[in-house]
Amino acid sequence: MRVDGPRAAAEPLTIEWRFTDLATTIRTTLSNGALIQTANPTSAVDVDLTLTLTKEQLLGLLSGGDPDDLDHTGDPAVLGRLLALLDSDDPGFAIVTP
């Protein structure tokens, strides 16, 4: 998967993923069409959505689960906005050519 940069350029958002089983927080920020990941962030920023979950719950979420079933603060629709900006890779893309 990859971010569709031109479409994502006008969609800034920030999500914090607090993993209870891994004792870590990952902040993902979409800014100017780029998705930036920060592990255990120390700076305070405005966050659109904070999800508190386990790795297993994340896998369930990515396979079609409902974010409303997770402990969260903020707007769960932000996750849908992010997922709508992702593209699938082209399986026919030739990575190496002779």
Mean pLDDT, residues 26-46: 94
pLDDT score of 26: 97
pLDDT score of 1: 62
Give 43-89 pLDDT, tens digit per residue: 999 999 999 999 999 999 888 888 778 899 999 899 989 989 988 77
Beta-strand ranges (E) seen in the chain are 2-3, 13-19, 24-31, 34-39, 49-53, 71-74, 86-87
Which domains are assigned to the chain? 2-87 (3.30.1050.10)
